[in-house]
């Protein structure tokens, strides 16, 4: 079962002083799946994201990420007992994300993320945004800047490759005509797609999207769903997504995890979730045994 997981979150707890934001949360995201994390406002979804991507250090728990050879999962216990944060081999890697600082989560473990409130580099052009996200390979090619300053060809080739990759993504998200415009000049929906493309330019194995459909109209949400499905299909990237737009969640998710007050209340396929009385109760804000009466009650 665990052989095909990309991410295992176990007993994750996050406390801010006296406030318990996440309580003993465990879930798994399978390789190549689109896993959705849903729940009412304030349920702790973004906190989970911030723990996975290294922006918060969890109070307790283990967050393990893996790519490559599935057999590496067997080494998880040994890695946890050691004081190391990762075990990398030619055919794969195993990472303990809770031990890594935020930028290494992206650089080494290859987890990319987007933000609830879009965080593009608004004063830089669309193309530059996609080049900044390829910082680490370009930095290596520029010989930590030294070769680049001296004008070696190595860096120019690397930059051309990076530009080509950016062009591919711009064609995919239909923004190729606006490549030379500042990112802040794009309409909202385009900015959302650009942020996803920027995250994808880091070559992630796991893409974490924080409410990608927020503020989009139904047509744009539809396009977003298609984009995410095609990303999954073409790049084999696993996707973890927080979303309030249930049409998107139900349409594309393979697996749904429901959070409420920092606790996992349900898990399963979208069809299972839709009919789970626990979930309905959480979203309506009532106890489980009152759900029937709330639903059947005529609206006065």
Partner 1 sequence: MTLQASAPKTGVNVARAIRDATIAGLIAFGILLPLIGFETVQNMRNELALETRPWLLAIFVGLVVLASLFISFVVRPWNQHRRAVRPAGASLKGAALRAAFAKWFTPFALGVAVFYPVLVIWITGFSGAVKWIDNFGIQILIYVMLGWGLNIVVGLAGLLDLGYVAFYAVGAYSYALLAKTFGLSFWILLPLAGILSAFWGVLLGFPVLRLRGDYLAIVTLAFGEIIRLVLINWVDVTSGYAGISSIPRPTFFGIPFTANEDGFAAVFGLEFTPLYRTIFLYYVILALALLTAFVTVRLRRLPIGRAWEALREDEIACRSLGINTTNTKLTAFGIGALFGGFAGSFFAARQGFISPESFTFTESAMILSIVVLGGMGSQIGVAIAALAMIGGTEMLRELDFLKQIFGAGFDPTQYRMLLFGLAMVLIMIWKPRGLISTREPTAFLKERKTVAAKFVEEGRG
Question: From the list 34, 76, 131, 281, which residue makes contact with partner 1 (rule: CB under 8 A)?
Answer: 131
Q: State yes or no: residue 120 binds partner 1 (CB under 8 A).
A: yes
Q: Which is nearer to partner 1, 106 or 221 (CB)?
A: 106
Count of positions (residues) in the chain: 300
Q: How far is CA 253 from CA 28, 64, 271, in A?
A: 14, 21, 10
Dist. CA 103–CA 112, nearest whole Å? 10
CA 276, distance to chain mean position in Å, is 25
Quick one: 27 or 49, whose CB is closer to partner 1? Answer: 49
Residue (of 39, 23, 49) closest to 239 by Cα position: 49
Q: Is 199 in the site for partner 1 (CB under 8 A)?
A: yes
Q: Cα–Cα distances in Å, from 265 out to 16, 61, 209, 210? A: 21, 18, 21, 20
Nearest to 255 by CA among 234, 241, 235: 241
**CA-CA distance, 194 to 110, in Å (whole number)?**
19
From 99, 110, 150, 117, select the one nearest 133 (Cα to Cα).
110
Q: Is 240 in the site for partner 1 (CB under 8 A)?
A: no
Signed CA dihedral, 147, 149, 150, 155: sign only:
positive
Q: Residue 86 Cβ, how far from partner 1 at the closest point, in Å?
A: 14
Measured from the CB atom, the residue of 27 and 155 that comes closer to partner 1 is: 155
Site string for partner 1, 157-176 (x = CB under 8 A): --x---x---x--------x
Single out the segment in contact with partner 1 by CB under 8 A; choices: 18-26, 113-121, 213-221, 250-258. Answer: 113-121
Q: Residue 193 interacts with partner 1 (CB under 8 A)?
A: no
Q: CA 250, CA 270: separation in Å to the nearest integer?
A: 5
* Residue of 91, 126, 280, 270 whose CA lies nearest to 201: 126
Q: Does 202 contact partner 1 by CB under 8 A?
A: yes
Helix, strand or coil, per DSSP, at residue 5: strand
Is 267:26 a contact under the CB 8 Å cutoff? Answer: no
Q: Position of tokens 């697996």?
A: 255
Nearer to partner 1, 94 or 199 (CB): 199
Question: Does residue 107 belong to the site contacting partner 1 (CB under 8 A)?
Answer: yes
Q: How far is CA 84 from the centre of its chain?
A: 24
Applying CB under 8 A, the span of 83-91, 145-153, 233-241, 246-254 interacting with partner 1 comes to 145-153
* Minimum CB–partner distance for residue 73 and partner 1 (Å): 24
Instruction: Choose which of 11, 78, 103, 236 interacts with partner 1 (CB under 8 A).
Output: 103
152 binds partner 1 (CB under 8 A): no
How far is residue 124's CA from residue 179's CA, in Å, rounded to a whole number?
Answer: 10
Residue 59 sits in the site that holds partner 1 (CB under 8 A): no
Question: Minimum distance from CB of 166 to partner 1 (Å)?
Answer: 9
* Binding of residue 128 to partner 1 (CB under 8 A): yes
Binding of partner 1 by 15 (CB under 8 A): no
Question: For residues 253 and 32, is the Cβ–Cβ distance under 8 A?
Answer: no
106 near partner 1 (CB under 8 A): yes
Closer to partner 1 by Cβ: residue 172 or 274? 172
Instruction: Note the residues at the interface with partner 1 (CB under 8 A).
Output: 53, 55, 102-104, 106-107, 112-113, 115, 119-125, 127-128, 131-136, 138-139, 142, 145, 148-149, 151, 155, 159, 163, 167, 176, 179-185, 198-199, 202
């Amino acid at each position: 079962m665990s052989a095909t997981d990309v991410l295992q979150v176990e007993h994750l707890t996050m406390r801010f002083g006296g406030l318990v934001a996440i309580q003993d949360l465990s879930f798994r995201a399978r390789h190549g799946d689109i896993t959705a994390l849903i729940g009412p406002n304030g349920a702790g979804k973004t906190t989970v994201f911030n723990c996975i991507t290294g922006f918060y250090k969890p109070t307790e728990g283990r967050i393990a990420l893996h790519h490559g050879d599935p057999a590496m999962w067997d080494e998880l216990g040994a890695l946890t007992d050691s004081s190391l944060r990762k075990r990398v081999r030619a055919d794969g890697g195993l990472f303990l994300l809770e031990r890594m600082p935020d930028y290494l989560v992206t650089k080494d473990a290859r987890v990319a993320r987007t933000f609830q409130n879009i965080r593009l580099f608004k004063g830089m052009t669309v193309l530059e945004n996609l080049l900044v996200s390829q910082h680490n390979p370009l930095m290596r090619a520029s010989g930590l800047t030294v070769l680049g300053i001296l004008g070696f060809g190595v860096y120019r080739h690397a930059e051309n490759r990076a530009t080509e990759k950016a062009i591919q993504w711009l064609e995919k998200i239909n923004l190729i005509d606006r490549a030379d415009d500042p990112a802040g000049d794009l309409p909202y929906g385009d900015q959302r797609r650009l942020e996803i493309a920027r995250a994808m330019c880091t070559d992630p194995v796991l893409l974490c999207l924080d409410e990608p459909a927020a503020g989009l109209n139904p047509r744009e949400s539809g396009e977003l769903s298609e984009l995410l499905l095609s990303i999954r299909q073409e790049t084999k990237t696993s996707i973890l997504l927080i979303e309030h737009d249930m049409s998107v969640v139900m349409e594309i998710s393979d697996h749904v995890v429901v959070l409420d007050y920092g606790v996992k209340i349900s898990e399963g396929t979208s069809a299972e979730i839709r009919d789970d009385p626990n979930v309905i109760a959480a979203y309506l804000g009532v106890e489980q045994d009152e759900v029937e009466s709330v639903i059947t009650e005529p609206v006065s």
